[in-house]
Structure 1
Amino acid sequence: MQDTAVTADDGVRLWASRSGRGTSGTTPLVLCHGGPGLWDMFEDVAAMLNDRAAVVRWDQRGGGRSEPCAGPWTTERFVADLDAVRRHFALQRTVLLGHSWGASLALNYALAHPERVAALVYVSGTGIGPDADWHGAYEANLLARLGENPQRLSRWRELPGESRERAVLQWSADFADRERAIEHAERMADPWFPINFPCNKALNAEARQATGTPILYAACQALDLPVLLVDGERDIRPRSAVDSLERALPRVRRVALPNAGHLPWVEDPHGFRDAVMTVMTAAR
């Protein structure tokens, strides 16, 4: 594994790591983590795929191991940062895999630079329809999952937003396996970095303005590259939200993993790897 600092075009340093080599002709894989305002949690994904391709992970601007900065917190800026990562590793074209907010980032990058993307893997995203299509149901499902343990729900409500313990409790709702949910969430929080709440607030607000617009639908309808949508069927974010994106894309395939939640590679690693490998093999 090779850790490095990538310098964005405005001078901000971004943490990145490259592992694996793959075989001759294999397109490199670049991973875009969720958030916004979090950090890379894709070590397991890199480990399961770096025998087949070079895999690049990175911490997005202002989060994790990347340099603290004051933004700007815009999708356009994050797309430019992702392109800086691509250039740093001298990658001509990549398979892009994004998770949750990172799925939206990867999609926006593909829309901006389709010639630099061989294929897109959109994992646990929330589609391109209005925020109202899914967010209210997500909040209700979150409270229901946490409420399975009333003491856990009460503790979550009393903790400050920046608390690691609160994050672990909230992230535990993202797993279908309720017995191992806290264990899985603890792994997400190791290592722990401060959550970048200004980044989170700004990018979520921007997303609410961008989704559901005719411009976004039209751009997705014109995206001429293979896209794989991967869902965990027991994600607390309604999977119907992704229908809007599936309908718009001209070259799309969808895989639903029945016993997985929001991080499907954790709860169904074999199913997840098999799905991603079909895209990586075709993208040679």
Structure 2
Amino acid sequence: MRNTAVTADDGVRLWASRSGRGTPNTPPLVLCHGGPGLWDMSEDVARMFDSRTAVVRWDQRGCGRSEPCAGPWTTERFVADLDAVRRHFALERPVLLGHSWGASLALSYALAHPDRVAALVYVSGIGIGPDADWHGAYEANLLARLGEDPGRLARWRELPGDSRERAVLQWSAEFVDRKRAVEHAERMADPWFPINFPCNQALNAEARQTAGTPARYAACQALDLPVLIVDGERDIRPRSAVDSLERALPRVRRVTLAGAGHLPWVEDPQGFREAVTTAMP
């Protein structure tokens, strides 16, 4: 594994890491983490595939190990940053694997630069419909999961929003296996970095403006790339929200992993590995 700094076209430095070996017949894999405002937590995913191909991970602008900055917090800017990562590692047409918010970012990149992408793997996203398709149900499901342990829910409610403990408790709701949920969430928070809330708020507000628009549907309908959608069946974000994207894409396949939540590679690593491998040309 080799860590490096990628310089974006406006001079901001982005943390990135490359592992594995590239082969002439297998395109490299670039991982786009969730958030927005978080950092890469996908080292386990990289290990699944770095015996097959080169794998690149990176921390998005102003987040995690990347240089602190004042933005700008726009999808267009993050797409340009992802292209800087691609160019830094001389990746001609990688497979993009985006998780959660990173799935939306990877989709936006593919829509902007389809000639620079071999395939798209869209993991645990929220589709392209309006917020009403998923957000209310997500909040209700989050409280229900946390409420299975009333003490855990009460503690989550009393903690400040920027505390590591609160994040771990909230992330524990992402896992189906309730006995190991906090353990899995603790791994997500190691190492721990401050959450970039201005980034989170700005990008979420932008997403609400573009979700469900005719332009978004039309762009997806015109995307001539193979796309794999991977869902954890028991994600607390309703999987029906992703139907909007599945219906729009002309070249799409969908795999739903039973018994897995929002991070399906944690709870069904074999199923996740098999699904993603089929998407790598």
- Shorter chain as normaliser: what TM range? over 0.9
Give the corresponding residue for 1:169. Answer: 169
Give the corresponding residue for 2:102: 102
Following superposition of structure 1 onto structure 2, how do residues 251-270 of structure 1 map, counting pairs within 5 Å? 251-270=251-270
Q: Aligned equivalents of 1:161 and 1:13: distance in 2?
A: 27
**Corresponding residue for residue 137 of structure 2:** 137
C-alpha deviation, 1:23, in angstroms: 3.1
CA distance, structure 2, for counterparts of residue 7 and residue 94 of structure 1: 19
Q: Does 1:87 align with 2:104?
A: no
Q: What is the distance in 1 between the residues matched to 2:119 and 2:93? A: 9
Query: What CA distance in whole angstroms lies between the structure 1 residues aligned with 2:121 and 2:182?
Result: 27
**3-state SS of the aligned residue for 1:53?**
coil
Q: Partner of 2:187 in structure 1? A: 187
Q: What is the TM-score with the length of structure 1 in the denominator?
A: 0.98
Q: Secondary structure at the match of 2:218?
A: helix
**Aligned-partner SS, 2:60:** coil
| Separation in structure 1 between the aligned mates of residue 133 and residue 46 of structure 2, nearest angstrom | 32
User: Deviations for 1:141-185, whole angstroms, at most 9, x for unmatched residues?
Assistant: 000000000000000000000000000000000001111000000
CA RMSD, Structure 1 to Structure 2 (Å): 0.5
Residue of structure 2 in register with 1:178 after alignment: 178
In the TM superposition, residue 38 of structure 1 has moved relative to its aligned partner by 0.2
Q: Is 1:115 aligned to residue 121 of structure 2?
A: no
Partner of 2:45: 45
In the alignment of these two chains, the number of paired residues is 281
Q: Which amino acid aligns with 1:244?
A: S
Amino acid of the structure 1 residue aligned with 2:25: G
Q: Determine helix, strand or coil for the equivalent of 1:30.
A: strand
Aligned to 1:159: 159
2:23 partner amino acid: T
Say whether residues 1:239 and 2:250 are aligned partners.
Answer: no
Counterpart code for 2:123: V
Letter matched to residue 105 of structure 1: L
Once the two structures are superposed, residues 185-233 of structure 1 have per-residue CA deviations (whole angstroms, 9 ceiling, x without a partner) of 0000000000000000000000000010000000000000000000000
Once the two structures are TM-superposed, the CA of residue 24 in structure 1 deviates from its matched residue by 2.7
**Do 1:232 and 1:257's aligned partners in 2 also have CA atoms closer than 8 Å?**
yes
Q: Which amino acid aligns with 2:2?
A: Q
**Aligned-partner residue type, residue 230 of structure 1:** V
Please list every run of at least 4 consecutive aligned residues from structure 1 whose deviation after the TM superposition is greater than 4 angstroms: none
Distance 1:104 1:140 in 2: 22
Q: Report the counterpart of residue 207 of structure 1 in structure 2.
A: 207
Q: Deviations over 1:251-280 (max 9, x none)?
A: 000000001000000000000000000011
Cα deviation, residue 25, structure 1: 1.8
Unaligned 5+ segments in structure 2 are none
Work out whether 1:78 is the aligned partner of 2:78: yes
Which residue identity does 1:215 align to in structure 2? A
Identity level (%): 86
Is residue 12 of structure 1 aligned with residue 12 of structure 2?
yes
Q: Distance in 1 between matches of 2:275 and 2:134?
A: 25
TM-score, length of structure 2 as denominator length: 0.99
Contact between 1:96 and 1:119, CA under 8 Å: does it hold in 2?
yes
Aligned-partner Cα distance in 1 for 2:196–2:205: 14
**SS of residue matched to 2:20:** strand
CA distance in 1, matches of 2:151, 2:180: 17
Deviation at 1:22, TM superposition (A): 4.0
Contact 1:22–1:51 (Cα < 8 Å) also in 2: no
